Amino acid sequence: MRRPGAPASWIWWRMLRQVLRRGLQSFCHRLGLCVSRHPVFFLTVPAVLTITFGLSALNRFQPEGDLERLVAPSHSLAKIERSLASSLFPLDQSKSQLYSDLHTPGRYGRVILLSPPGDNILLQAEGILQTHRAVLEMKDGKNSFIGHQLGGVVEVPNSKDQRVKSARAIQITYYLQTYGSATQDLIGEKWENEFCKLMRKLQEEHQDLQLYSLASFSLWRDFHKTSILARSKVLVSLVLILTTATLSSSMKDCLRSKPFLGLLGVLTVCISIITAAGIFFITDGKYNSTLLGIPFFAMGHGTKGVFELLSGWRRTKENLPFKDRIADAYSDVMVTYTMTSSLYFITFGMGASPFTNIEAVKVFCQNMCVSILLNYFYIFSFFGSCLVFAGQLEQNRYHSIFCCKIPSAEYLDRKPVWFQTVMSDGHQQTSHHETNPYQHHFIQHFLREHYNEWITNIYVKPFVVILYLIYASFSFMGCLQISDGANIINLLASDSPSVSYAMVQQKYFSNYSPVIGFYVYEPLEYWNSSVQEDLRRLCSGFTAVSWVEQYYQFLKVSNISANNKSDFISVLQSAFLKKPEFQHFRNDIIFSKAGDESNIIASRLYLVARTSRDKQKEVIEVLEKLRPLSLSKSIRFIVFNPSFVFMDHYSLSVTVPVLIAGFGVLLVLILTFFLVIHPLGNFWLILSVTSIELGVLGLMTLWNVDMDCISILCLIYTLNFAIDHCAPLLYTFVLATEHTRTQCIKSSLQEHGTAILQNVTSFLIGLVPLLFVPSNLTFTLFKCLLLTGGCTLLHCFVILPVFLTFFPPSKKHHKKKKRAKRKEREEIECIEIQENPDHVTTV
């Protein structure tokens, strides 16, 4: 039994939805009329804004110089631990020849010398020493050789002391003492440039050795190198998008063809992006290579509005004045485009919120919000004005390309075939029963005559269901294998020295983790046997370089008893630290003196973990295991290595923006569930967007794409791109009044399929040049955006047209209404015939 109040409340909600919908359509209709009456104004204002802000962008362009601030989590425990470690053991006082890279290393130069396959690097000592001497002879900057490492080591068989038989590679690091001085930092930068040049020169001299160099500025240089490499490819992308948009907007009908509108639509999006860039640089924004994705993101949304307005223009009645046709197109298209633009702004606005812990993601989302607002403004103003002028030319029967008067049919009949082809307005192609000559557009013709019948064929539907099950299976499988992309190499140019160095280091020096500093920052009773046991337990499983362990061994060998505080510290200061082989431990212990009594207030140890090929993942696991122990044990300590700043909770930091954006979209769609055109439209939209988002996430994981800041931004964009293309199709379907679901989905595809296909095709073709940019960043961008466009196209043209014919909303009530109207019309006609039988005779 239904509640008595239920029908009344349902009718009330339905009336409210209709009022809101008609109110929005009325507003957009008036906006269209305003644009059509003042096209020069709406054309001039955006142009002036672009010139003003575009020139300022050129004058204020400045690249981001701090890579750590950009890609490392902003709020991480590792940064606090670094500050504490640096305050206890400053870099300029850490004179240990092997471990002074535990803090932020500052200026340095590193080189890996690799011998040919089968050779032993230890037998090429002369080449190594020549390289070493050449570095030490460089001028400017106080440099010091601080250590070496062997890679690709082969041990002597059955050797108890692990003697080295041979090695493939050796790594040498040189640090510069700058002490934070700006002048010395400039000298250090000059030294690093000379160091890299020297390594290239030595590589030419020593053909029997392969040299891979790295400096402190190498990561920053190779990160920004992507932007330099991509400049020409972005221009090629623009040309391809312009060509695709122009061709897809053309028709054989020279009157109704709109090639220049497709061209001007893409240019409209371009000038809105330039204006957004000018605003970004005026507000002291700094450019970084992750912003390379903004033109592609903004183009995908902007051209969707352009093609929808063109489709809306084609759906208007030709016999209306062009101003009324513009207003009708706005009322038909701009309601949905306003909703999708609002969702873009909400999702990227949440990505720019303080909850986002990656500065690169935050900066990108802030810039994207400005781009979306300007994109929306430029579409309805600048492109709307272009549409007004094109409509005026069409109403006055001017050629769409040559802007000349189209001759009469009689005149054309006397001309050659080529002239008739160029100047034909389609009057010969339009039959007497066709009311819409725009149906001759090649995409619309293909959808109406071929594709719609094929995809709704009953024999095709089972194969589509199987296809979706395969799609869902692979997506689910990929979602179970997600890995975080804390490796900064994913953002660098693929042919850069930094990537080459990292690959060689990963191959030959992955047996051990980086040196981890173990800092005890509170006074501790080191002479106590229980404390000694706790320290041994914490260091178990690591190769430890510890003054404590060495001191205990010294006491045991010397047969000295130090079971109390005074004896322990006295022997430590007077005997142990005076030995030449133990003097370097002086920098690892901090003493305080109160009267005649000395205390150890802090100390540090060094730990190295044994790792396998997946070195980074194991280092993160070590960090996650050691930190909880610092809170549960009686010993208060911290662990730190400079790489921890990039790894610390990186996976959580990069996934939070997507979760927040997804939650925002879900919340908006649920809150507007009873206020939109139809509740089932929102329901289907949520299902479609979820399916596309999970599909992109799973397939990009199977395509070896990690969860770094670029892939996260692409996932946020996927949410909006899916809504942008699925929403018009779904809302048209739920509002369609045809007899069956099949006829409704055909009508939806015929109405919006052309714009969707035009936009996705232009979007995907524009991505092709990214394949030729030798950069890991652009590879990630290409893969994610290709999957975004592909999955959206699959859902709009394959999955939704089939699944919507199985599930609600039902169209039976529309069928009953039409039957009732037909029956009522037949009864009225019968009554008229009975009252006036002569009328039939007259007819």
Least confident of 413-417, 513-517, 652-656: 652-656
| pLDDT at residue number 466 | 95
- What pLDDT sits at residue 294? 94
Q: What is the pLDDT of residue 243?
A: 94
Domain that holds residue 745: 448-504+676-808
Arithmetic mean of pLDDT, 336-343: 89
Same domain flag for 382 and 526: no
Per 3-state DSSP, the chain is made up of helix, strand and coil in percentages (nearest 5) of 65, 10, 25
Q: Do 404 and 296 share a structural domain? A: yes
User: Is residue 324 domain-shared with residue 468, that is, in the same domain?
Assistant: no
Considering only 351-360, 361-370, 422-431, 457-466, which range has the smallest mean pLDDT?
422-431
Q: Which is nearest to 802 in space by CA: 457, 444, 448?
A: 457
The CATH number that applies at residue 475 is 1.20.1640.10
* Rounded Cα distance, 218 and 493, in Å: 11
Tell me: do 39 and 143 sit in the same domain. Answer: no
pLDDT band at 13 (very low <50, low <70, confident <90, very high): low
Angle separating helix axes 6-37 and 39-60, nearest 10 degrees:
80
Structure tokens at 772: 């030729």
535-575: pLDDT as tens digits: 888 888 787 888 888 888 888 888 888 888 888 888 888 88
Q: What are residue 405's DSSP bridge partners?
A: 398
Say if residue 683 is in the same domain as residue 641.
no
| Model confidence band, residue 274 (pLDDT cutoffs 50, 70, 90) | very high
- For 366-370, 397-401, 428-432, which range has the lowest pLDDT when averaged over its residues? 428-432
Query: Quick count: other Cβ atoms within 10 Å of Cβ 457?
Result: 11
Q: What is the pLDDT of residues 198-230, one digit of tens each?
A: 888 888 888 888 889 888 888 888 888 898 999
Cα angle 316, 318, 322 (rounded to 5 degrees) comes to 80
Neighbours of 432 (CB within 10 A): 5
CA angle, residues 302, 305, 309, in degrees to nearest 5 = 145
Q: Are residues 836 and 790 in the same domain?
A: no
Residue 215 lies in a domain: no
Average pLDDT over residues 576-605: 84
In 482-559 the beta strands, taken as DSSP E runs, fall at 516-520, 542-545
- Residue 297, amino acid: F
Report the range of poorest mean pLDDT among 162-176, 262-276, 367-381, 497-511.
162-176
pLDDT of the residue at 155? 75
Residue 298 and residue 402 in one domain = yes
The pair phi, psi for residue 728, each rounded to 5°, is: -60, -40
Rounded CA gap, 395 and 160, in Å? 95
Three-state DSSP class for residue 208: coil
Q: What does DSSP assign to residue 289?
A: G
Q: What is the pLDDT of residues 52-77, one digit of tens each?
A: 998 877 778 888 878 888 888 877 78
Sign of CA dihedral 742, 744, 745, 750: positive
Question: Domain for residue 668, yes or no?
Answer: no
Last-in-domain residue among 175, 191, 208? 208
Backbone angles phi, psi at 114, to 5 degrees: -120, 130
Residues 269 and 408 in one domain: yes
- Are 285 and 420 found together in one domain? yes
**What is residue 652's predicted lDDT score, i.e. its pLDDT?**
61
599, 509: one domain: yes
Pairing of strands 516-520, 210-215: unpaired
More confident residue, 657 or 821: 657
**Domain CATH code at residue 158:** 3.30.70
Q: Measured between alpha carbons, how far is 639 from 630 in angstroms, rounded to an integer? A: 9
**Do 740 and 700 fall within a single domain?**
yes
Q: Where are the alpha helices (DSSP H) in 95-181?
A: 125-136
Contact 716, 347 (CB under 8 A): yes
Task: Tell me the per-residue pLDDT of 439-480, one tens digit each, with 9 for 90 and over.
Answer: 778 888 899 889 999 998 999 999 999 999 999 999 999 988
Please, which residues have CB within 8 angstroms of residue 799's CB and are 6 or more apart in sequence?
Answer: 464, 467, 468, 471, 691
Identify whether 227 is part of a domain.
no
The rounded radius of gyration (Å) of the Cα atoms in the chain is 35
Question: Longest C-alpha distance within the chain, in Å?
Answer: 135
Q: What is the CATH number of the domain that holds 334?
A: 1.20.1640
Shared domain check, 487 and 520: no
> Looking at the chain, how many residues does it have?
843
What confidence tens digit (pLDDT) does each residue in 18-50 have? Answer: 777 788 889 999 999 999 999 999 999 999 999
Contact yes or no for 143/135 (Cβ under 8 A): yes
Buried b (16+ CB within 10 A) or exposed e, 551-572: bbebbeeeeeebeebeebbebb
